[in-house]
Amino acid sequence: MQNIVSTEWLADEIERKNKELVIVDTRFNLSDPEEGYKQYLEGHLPGAVYVDLEKHLSAQIDKHGGRHPLPDVDILAKKLGELGISNDSKVVIYDDQGGMIASRLWWLLHYIGVSDPAVLDGGWKKWTSENKLITTVISQPSPKTLLPLINNDWKWVDHLEVKKKLNHPDTILIDSRESVRFFGEFEPIDSVAGHIPSAKNYFWKNVLNEEGRWKKREELITHFSEVPLSKEVIVYCGSGVSACPNILALKEAGYSNVKLYAGSWSDWISYPTNPVAVGNEREEDK
């Protein structure tokens, strides 16, 4: 299965009752953490189970680690196993935010050894705009065994490794936040504004087209054309969530050595000795 699947493909798989398929609803509102599950109860794709960004895909906030620390892999694997996901499951994930939260689960599934996850192109918005079937029936999946087998090709990095790689000629650091936050002109969430020195700004929403669907591979290759394929790429955002759609897009564009700085900006600024840059070298958004 590909990293991105179409609503047409998924509708066909649902119709033929593919027993290997698990659909996951990850809708979530950062300003109202209960809203996503309420939306799920009001209607969701047939057979979909619900996974919560903060209850399931993040650990408890601590002094370090950022606003959405990575969850404990054993706890995550147990929860996902209860929802019918095994290491061999074909998992399709959707949200209503352009794939931002869906991509977080997509990354985590790769990291813990689930071989075939994908994000639904256009997500909930496209599915419902096409009047495809939705339901209020809560799925009761048969529990599966999911063994957390850490995939070293999907390793994440901490602030120490990022600090070591600053200005390293073989590493490109990508900041996925919108430009006003990157340049420190406006910071609505974190206590310190700016970005990690040497980082390049690639706002994650720019991997989507005007309809909110993922850009084609050729467009993504052009989008990241100033990032050499041979380099190690470390991607971060505010808390490790919106970095993930950029990682998916980079993978689609052919980049193999891509890593997530899991704690991201909110972790970086929790260490007072870490350097901070603000934008007096403003470029146009890429």
Catalytic residue set: 237
The residue with tokens 């390293």 is 168
**Helix (H) / strand (E) containing 232:** strand 232-236
The sign one gets for the Cα dihedral 175, 180, 184, 186 is negative
> What separation, in Å, do the N-terminal and C-terminal C-alpha atoms of the chain show?
29
Separation CA 258–CA 236 (nearest Å): 11
> Residue type for 178, please?
E
Residue 59 one-letter amino acid = A
Contact of 119 with 106, CB cutoff 8 Å: yes
- Farthest-apart Cα atoms in the chain, separation: 56
Amino acid code (one letter) for 25: D
